[in-house]
Amino acid sequence: MWEKTSSLESDHKNDLMLFASGILIFIGGLTGKPLLFMISGVFILYYLLNYIYDKNISDKLLLKNEQEVIRLFPGDQSILSFTFENKSRYPYLNGKLRFDTGNAISIDTDANQPGQKEHQHILPLTMISKGNTVLEVPISAKKRGSVKIVNIDYRFPHLFKFHLIQLSYLPYFQKEIIVYPRPLVIPGLDDYFHTAPGEQRFSMSPFEDIENRIGTRDYQYGDPFHRINWKASVKAQQLQTHTYEKVIDASLVFIINLEPQESWNTMASSSQTEKNLSYAAYLSQFATERKYPFELYLNIRKSGSTPYVHLPEGAGMSHYMRSLELLARVNEYPITFPAEQMMYRIGQAFSRPKTMIIIGPISDRTKRILNEWSTFHRVIHLSEAADQAFLRPIGRGSAS
């Protein structure tokens, strides 16, 4: 579990001490002087103490490593805890625990020390013998991101030789910190929701599910000829028309294009990425509060048959939390999949009208695809002006 690193000079001194003990015993045997045996005995005892100590310090120190996720929003605070179990009879005195994190969190008790790297944390830690020691570290969430605890090591002075020993933790540490994006409000979002044929059942809906027949009624002028139920008409002695389940589709599709508008300006691209993810977080929150099912598409390149990220349709708080976690894990500078190729694939996936909200830049080729969608779907583009988000319909019925 731990890999021990100590100075080569110290190991060399141990070898010299053992060699010197052998010489003293040999000389004592030749000269018959008991003092030499006593001195060599002290050297051997000291060597054995060092040997037992060196063997125990890495083998009998355990770090509790259970899977745990700490979930925060920017500005939130929490406690990151490390639980150590020292099974040896030797304590660890005046040591320092080191580990690295990303820049999404800060540690409130952290103080810069000589040689400390960026996002590296060094904390004092003393551990008792034959017992557990819990180190509680107060943390603050600074920005969106996923934080892994890596490069964990513990440095402390040797109990007998006083040189520094480093124990490096080898297993993957399963504790993780997720900082969700801060939702950015989108004004006027309610005005753009509409009814469309789908799964939710409403008695006054203008849409019908033609695969879910529920009965018949008297024929009315204008009813399509193919809807006439001839068997029922013969039985009732007047024309009867099939009736179908009334449904609406209140589900939403959020499509986030993270392609940078200015690829040479990495800082501006990163800032816009964060904004777009925050808008997506607000859309997810909005849909959850109003009990609308939703799904997410992000043009982040990934391996597999679907070369972009997709969160399938769902609803409720658990689906909302999954969407936030997905958005939190997006890299600050993601490798993207071409937006127009993703749009083309998405367009082939829907057989029922949807409300689609596009976040991010739209190229001319993408706009042509969205105009085609608008003949069947409600398509809305989220744009920005003077750091203010606004929604603009695309295609049929819009001013564009």
For residue 24, the model assigns a pLDDT of 63
- Cα 23 off chain centre by: 62
Name the average pLDDT for the chain: 82
What's the average model confidence in pLDDT over 362-382? 88
The string of DSSP codes covering 367-397 is HHHHHHHTTTSEEEEEEEETTEEEEEE-STT
Q: 202 pLDDT band (50/70/90 cuts)?
A: very low
For residue 148, the model assigns a pLDDT of 94
Q: The pTM is what?
A: 0.76
Q: 61-179, superfamily in CATH?
A: Immunoglobulins (2.60.40.10)
What's the average model confidence in pLDDT over 247-255? 77
For residue 200, the model assigns a pLDDT of 52
Q: 108 pLDDT band (50/70/90 cuts)?
A: confident
What's the average model confidence in pLDDT over 42-66? 76
For residue 119, the model assigns a pLDDT of 80
Angle formed at CA 48 by CA 46 and CA 53, multiple of 5 degrees: 95
Best CA proximity match to 256, nearest among 273, 237, 243: 273
Q: 190 pLDDT band (50/70/90 cuts)?
A: confident
For residue 135, the model assigns a pLDDT of 95
Question: What residue segments make up the domains of the chain, in order of their start?
Answer: 2-57, 61-179, 210-246, 249-393
What's the average model confidence in pLDDT over 147-156? 93
Can you tell me the distance from the alpha carbon of 50 to that of 53, in angstroms, rounded to the nearest whole number?
A: 5
Q: Which range has the worst mean pLDDT, 131-140, 143-152, 196-205?
A: 196-205
User: Does residue 207 or residue 241 have the better pLDDT?
Assistant: 241
Residue-wise burial string across 311-348, b where 16 or more C-beta atoms lie within 10 A, e elsewhere: beebeeeebbebbbebbbebeeebebbbbbebbeebee
Q: Is the pLDDT of residue 362 over 80?
A: yes
Q: Which H helix or E strand runs over 65?
A: none
For residue 399, the model assigns a pLDDT of 46
What's the average model confidence in pLDDT over 27-34? 69
For residue 8, the model assigns a pLDDT of 45
Pairing of strands 105-107, 131-141: antiparallel
Sign of CA dihedral 172, 175, 179, 180: positive
Q: Do domains 61-179 and 249-393 have the same CATH topology?
A: no
E strand map for 159-314:
164-169, 175-179, 200-201, 208-218, 240-248, 252-256, 294-298, 309-314
Can you tell me the distance from the alpha carbon of 47 to that of 54, in angstroms, rounded to the nearest whole number?
A: 10
Q: Is the pLDDT of residue 206 over 50?
A: no
> Which of 6-10, 18-22, 225-229 tops mean pLDDT?
225-229
Best CA proximity match to 362, nearest among 252, 241, 215, 258: 258
> Which of 47-51, 153-157, 231-235 tops mean pLDDT?
153-157
Pairing of strands 105-107, 77-86: unpaired
* Residue matched to tokens 């996936």: 349
Q: Is the pLDDT of residue 211 over 50?
A: yes
Neighbours of 72 (CB within 10 A): 20
Q: Which range has the worst mean pLDDT, 52-66, 94-108, 163-177, 311-325?
A: 52-66
**CATH code given to domain 249-393:** 3.40.50
Can you tell me the distance from the alpha carbon of 358 to that of 129, in angstroms, rounded to the nearest whole number?
A: 59
Which tokens go with 194?
Answer: 């509409």
For residue 113, the model assigns a pLDDT of 62
For residue 140, the model assigns a pLDDT of 94
Give percent of the chain above pLDDT 90: 40
